[in-house]
């Protein structure tokens, strides 16, 4: 029985790895995600404040998510 479970887990890991590779290979989509006509963050799907959209047209993330992305990229460069 454990052989079947082991094979199923290996197959799941393979499928997940392929999905992640496909996701990483896609170019980032420009601009916000629109949900019911509201500009939303592509990371958390929360509405992006209109003041942010006015200040930075075409932004794709809310202030909080963009801050996290910027912080992560600083650590990756270091």
Residue 78 pLDDT > 70, yes or no?
A: no
Structure tokens at 26: 């896609």
Range of the domain at 31: 2-77
Residues making up the chain, counted from first to last:
78
Domains contained in the chain, number: 1
37: left (phi over 0), alpha (psi -120 to 50) or beta: left
Residue 73 has what pLDDT? 80
Is 32 within 8 Å of 40 (Cβ atoms)?
yes
State the pLDDT at residue 28.
Answer: 67
pLDDT in tens, 11-61: 999 999 988 888 778 776 688 999 999 999 999 999 999 999 999 998 999
């Amino acid at each position: 029985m454990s052989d079947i479970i082991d094979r199923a887990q290996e197959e799941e890991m393979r499928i997940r790895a392929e999905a992640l590779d496909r996701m990483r290979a896609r170019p980032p989509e420009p601009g916000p995600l629109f949900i019911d006509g509201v500009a939303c963050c592509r990371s958390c799907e929360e509405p992006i404040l209109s003041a942010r959209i006015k200040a930075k047209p075409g932004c794709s993330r809310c202030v909080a998510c963009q801050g996290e992305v910027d912080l992560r990229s600083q650590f990756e460069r270091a």
